[in-house]
Copies of this chain bind each other. A is one copy, B any other.
Amino acid sequence: MASTLLLEGTICRYIDDRNGARQLVALHVPGDFVDLHGYPLKRLEHDVMALGPVRVAVWQHETLHRLTGERPDLTRMLWYATLLDAAMHRMWIFRVGRLGAEGRIAHFVAELHARLQAVGLAGDGSFALPLKQIDLADACGLTNVHVNRVLRSLREQDIMTWRSGEVTIHDPVRLRRIGEFDPAYLYIDADCPD
């Protein structure tokens, strides 16, 4: 048993329903410990998939067990990492539960922009993102058809452009307003434990 630290590329986690409809529950960027929670939980109740080529570091659970046995400070940092994940889950619930289609997409893009910027992978207003429109639909609880229409609308309003593989934000202020995005939940400038 092992857990995966993502070094390059993109990985998502998702739950499928019995009719094949897919719901993404997490999207990981370089620096994320994709399934660290698999160490205490022992088994995962969802699936993991790479979106394109990735480079990862693999941590054996034995190693993690030894480390957490010896280093309480390090344990708290690992714990903290999984809690950031949970905070993103919560905002994901809010996004899907309380925003309309345009807001969901705007919020999702704004979050990814903030996270990629935090690890130096996003320029001022544009970044690479290897998601197809259907992946975006599966993330936001929409259909690919509707996602397509909303993306067109956002493009026509000069707010953002989504080309498969590349996102450009033309008007970050309106994007954040439409998505009601406040990055506080990402704890980007917060201190880690210890």
Contacts and interface: CB of A to CB of B under 8 A. Distances in A.
Query: How many copies make up the complex?
Result: 2
A25 B86 CA distance: 11
3 nearest A-B pairs in the assembled complex, by CB-CB distance: A97-B141, A89-B89, A45-B185
The prevalent SS among residues of A at the interface is helix
A97 B140 contact: yes
A49 interface: no
Given A23-B93, A68-B72, A45 B83 contact: no
Contacts of A25: 90, 93-94
Interface stretch (A2-10, A36-44, A51-59, A157-165): A36-44
Which among A23, A70, A86 has the highest number of chain B CB atoms within 10 Å?
A: A86
A193 interface: yes
Interface in A1-33: 13, 15, 17-18, 21-23, 25-26
Interface string A74-109: 011011101111110111111011110000000000
